[in-house]
Amino acid sequence: MKKTVVFVLAIAAFSGMLASSQAVAAQEQGKEELKLQLPKPMFIGTPRNINSPNLEKITGKPRGTFFVPLGTKLVSLNKPVTASDMQPVIGEVSCITDGEKSGEDGYFVELGPGKQYVQIDLKASQPLQAVLVWHYHSQARVYRDVVVQVSDDKDFVSGVTTIFNNDHDNSSGLGIGKDKEYIETFEGKLFDPHETKARFVRLWSNGNTSNDMNHYVEVEVYATPAK
């Protein structure tokens, strides 16, 4: 105990000496610490209470035209969907491929909190041209750790290609992603699979800025027929 006290005191004394020696050295060189005067926050009254559906884009421009090979078709419509949470809080996972993209209540599925995925079985391996996702768009939100993977292995153990990953701090444990977070809009988010051939599409998320739940209104996968 005595040794610990002596050790702590010695460290404290050393730190103090170091700090003062730095200050003395600076003074000897004709310098002093720059005292910054930073601007203070402006006091202001109550902000607007926004509590209505908002379908406007908050940032960014409308999505530009996305070109795909001739013969590309929507291949995900009414295809079977599974999920890490097969007992959703709201809705059914089948609504993810039912073609309904309305932002209103009754058109989305809510999966439990934290890291969750949904998986679409396209029934055939084929070159994927585009994956378009609407998580939730009746309110501006950012979904966290969005990771989109494709594979021919339904368990995603082998042959997995990640086509989008914005989990920049690896909080979902699928690896650090370099893609950016984005705000959900009625346009949905388009991911480019670069013609990767795959049968299964798995989409991860880890809560959102409004709550810890995970939502999907619709997922569309476009592909060209396998040759």
Residues in contact with another protein by CB under 8 A are 36, 38-51, 54, 58-59, 90, 105, 139-142, 168-170, 176, 180-181, 183, 209-210
Pick between residue 77 and residue 176 the one whose CB is nearest to another protein.
Answer: 176
Q: State both tokens at 146.
A: 């969005």
Q: State both tokens at 61.
A: 């421009």
Instruction: Tell the smallest beta-carbon distance from residue 47 to another protein (Å).
Output: 4
Instruction: Tell the smallest beta-carbon distance from residue 112 to another protein (Å).
Output: 17
* Spatial distance between the Cα atoms of 124 and 82, rounded to a whole number of angstroms: 16
Helix or strand run (H / E) with residue 163: strand 161-165
* Spatial distance between the Cα atoms of 139 and 88, rounded to a whole number of angstroms: 20
Pick between residue 82 and residue 139 the one whose CB is nearest to another protein.
Answer: 139
Residue labelled with tokens 């999966």: 111
Instruction: Tell the smallest beta-carbon distance from residue 189 to another protein (Å).
Output: 14
Pairing of strands 197-206, 73-74: unpaired
Q: State both tokens at 120.
A: 């679409």
Pick between residue 4 and residue 49 the one whose CB is nearest to another protein.
Answer: 49
Pick between residue 122 and residue 140 the one whose CB is nearest to another protein.
Answer: 140
